[in-house]
Amino acid sequence: MSGFNILSVATFIFLYRRVIDPLVSRTRKTDTKEPTELQRMGIGLVIAIITMIAAELRIITN
C-alpha cells in the first residue's frame, strides 16, 4: 500500500505541474503564475469531492 501512495502522490504532482497549473494560469488574467494557497486548497477539495463521488458510484453499481 505504501508503494501505491508514493506513486499516486508522484503522479498527482506531475499532473498538477504539467496540466492543472498551466490551465489555471491561462484562465486567470493576472500576472502571477502560481495559484494562491487558498486556490490550491480549493483545487484539492474539488478533487477530493470528485473522487468521493466516483467511489460512491462504484459502490452503487456493484
Backbone angles phi and psi of 36, in degrees to 5: -70, 170
pTM above 0.75, yes or no: no
- Mean pLDDT value across residues 1-11: 83
pLDDT of residue 9: 83
Q: How far apart are CA 40 and CA 24, in angstroms?
A: 10
Model confidence at 50: pLDDT above 90: yes
User: pLDDT tens, 11-45?
Assistant: 988 888 888 877 877 777 666 667 778 888 898 89
pLDDT at 56 over 90: yes
Q: What distance in Å separates the CA atoms of residue 8 and residue 2, rounded to the nearest whole number?
A: 10
The answer on pLDDT for 1 being more than 70 is no
